[in-house]
Amino acid sequence: MSAAQAVRAVVRGHVQGVGFRDATVRRARGLGVMGWVRNGDDGELLVHAEGTAEAVRELEAFLREGPRGAHVEDVAVERVKVEGHEQFAVRGVPAGGFVVRQLARGFELTLEVDGAVRAWSVPKGPSMDPADKRFAVAAVATDAGQVWDAGPYEQGGRVPWPEALDRGHAVFVLHGERLRGGFALQRAGRGWLLVKRRDEYAQAGRLA
């Protein structure tokens, strides 16, 4: 991306439940802008946009107007560092559900990916300690055992899914009861490593 710049925008007003996020995705992709957009907890729309100065300015202008049905009261914009996204609306977008089951021997992690279920056997189970890398093996989902944790998750990173998994490094954010925050699956030889990312939920020495 040549001459790229990046901004973060917080759009306030009547901006949720009116198709604003989807409209922003369409406009950003049409402009060739990379980044993400998501609904905030306080009713606002949060946007990270990076691209040429002209494209980013055009997206900012769209955010100040919004789609039909929206009422924009304020748009706060700040310049930020370019993160190097490869497309728009990968990070921070709900991707489906995850389930961790406790089996007779170890644990099983399943993720909804592109309309299908992908599974990994994790013998020692997940950990909330970033230093504790857990070996995992791609498997066939069993739907057996006891549900140990479950909830929605977001696909993350700079590479779109399922390509990220095909490349061997996939970042995601779990919103469970026991497992929260960022994780990564990284290919290691014939298997994988399940690693907790360093964020506000990480706890050294804590085994989930």
- pLDDT tens digits, residue range 24-81? 989 998 999 988 888 887 899 999 999 999 999 999 999 999 999 999 999 999 999 8
CB contact at 8 A, 65 and 1: no
Residue 115, pLDDT score: 86
Sheet holding 34-39, edge to edge: 34-39, 45-52, 4-14, 71-80
205 lies in some domain: no
**Catalytic residue of the set 21, 91, 118, 180:** 21
pLDDT in tens, the chain (208 residues): 456 899 999 999 999 989 998 899 899 989 999 888 888 878 999 999 999 999 999 999 999 999 999 999 999 999 998 877 777 765 556 688 999 999 988 999 999 998 899 999 999 999 999 999 999 999 999 888 999 999 999 887 777 789 899 999 998 989 899 999 889 999 999 999 999 988 778 887 655 5
**Catalytic residue of the set 8, 38, 39, 57:** 39
Q: Are strands 107-113 and 93-102 parallel, antiparallel or unpaired?
A: antiparallel
Those residues with Cβ within 8 angstroms of residue 186's Cβ, 6 or more apart along the chain or in another chain: 168, 169, 170, 192, 193, 195
Structurally, how many domains does the chain consist of? 2
Upper half-sphere CA count for residue 194 (Cβ side, 13 Å): 26
Give the pair of three-digit tokens for residue 113: 């990916």
**Domain match, 71 and 98 both:** no
Residue 106 lies in domain: 93-196
Q: What is the largest CA-CA distance in the chain?
A: 57
- Nearest Cα neighbor of 199 from 176, 178, 183 is 183
**Domain match, 99 and 185 both:** yes
Residue 1, pLDDT score: 44
**Domain match, 144 and 190 both:** yes
Catalytic: 39?
yes
Residue 204, pLDDT score: 78
Catalytic: 101?
no
The C-alpha atoms of residue 186 and residue 207 are separated, in whole angstroms, by 19
128 lies in some domain: yes
8-state DSSP, 22: H
121 lies in some domain: yes
Residue 96, pLDDT score: 87
182 lies in some domain: yes
Question: Rounded to whole angstroms, what are the CA distances from 142 to 110, 162, 170, 208?
Answer: 9, 21, 22, 21
